[in-house]
Structure 1
Amino acid sequence: MKRTQRGMTLLSFVVVLGVVGFFAYIGMKLFPMYSEYYAVKQALRGLQAEPGIANQDPARIKNLFFRRLDISYSDNVKPENVKLERSQNGGPGWDMTVDYEVRKALVANLDVVGRFHADGKLANVGDGG
């Protein structure tokens, strides 16, 4: 009775290792981009919970927003990426939009580009008014 060997050959192991390594490398390039986007969303949520935010001037709101981002070491969001407009619903408040793009080198002359968008309404929620 002859037994046949089963399992991966060295060549197939190297190929699988290469594929797994490639996807791990892509994940390492993409994770910081999405981590920063999560920090932007968290900073926006923090501003929405800020008492009296609807009555603040835009410069103060941007200052508070970027202070929250500095804690997360976010460096791709610039002041020109943040837009504040008065709310269209008639009451006091602001509509805040953050649109930015992140470009990271992937391999040789190939880049990965991420476009991110976050928005929220800043109204007087936490102060009873």
Structure 2
Amino acid sequence: MRHNVIYKQRGVSLSGLLLWSVVLIFVAILGMKLLPVYREYAAIKTTLVLMANDPVLQNSTKAEIRKSFNRQAQIDDISVVHGGDIQINKENGQAVLSIIYSVKTPLFANISLYFDFNVSSDK
């Protein structure tokens, strides 16, 4: 005796596989474009905080602070900002360093991503 039981087909169809592949590739490309931008942001933030807390630089001139940032930027592979972009203020005897900058990174074809950053040593 044979029963007429209809089994449901399970699994991903070819069109479903292609759709998920396109989505996964798009997310991977987006991640590869965003990662360097945020890695550089983190390096700038770390450099500013370390410089603001450095007791040697507390009594330095603005030119010396900018020169020190340029040296550290070469080590950390920071290329979007330079020492001349730093705003230097004194608050309660503590140096507060800040930089406002923008980054435009191409995504594909004529589509780009634009980022605005406001990095400060006190935030």
SS, match of residue 52 in structure 1:
helix
TM-score (norm 1): 0.82
Letter in 1 for 2:107: L
Counterpart in the other structure of 1:119? 120
Per-residue Cα deviation, 1:50-105 (whole angstroms, up to 9, x for no partner):
123221001111111122221121111134421123x254x4x4332111111111
Of 20, 26, 29 in structure 1, the residue corresponding to residue 33 of structure 2 is: 29
Same amino acid, percent of matched pairs: 29
Q: Which has the higher contact order (CA 8 A, sep 6+)?
A: 1
Q: Count residues in correspondence.
A: 118
TM-score (norm 2): 0.86
Counterpart in the other structure of 2:64? 60
Separation in 2, partners of 1:82, 1:69 = 12
Consecutive unaligned residues of structure 2, counting only runs of 5 or more, are none
Q: Where do 1:39-54 residues align within 5 Å? A: 39-54=43-58
Considering only aligned residues, what root-mean-square deviation do their CA atoms show, in Å? 1.6
Consecutive unaligned residues of structure 1, counting only runs of 5 or more, are 122-129
Separation in 2, partners of 1:100, 1:24 = 26
Separation in 2, partners of 1:101, 1:68 = 20
**Off by >4 Å, runs of 4+ in structure 1:** none
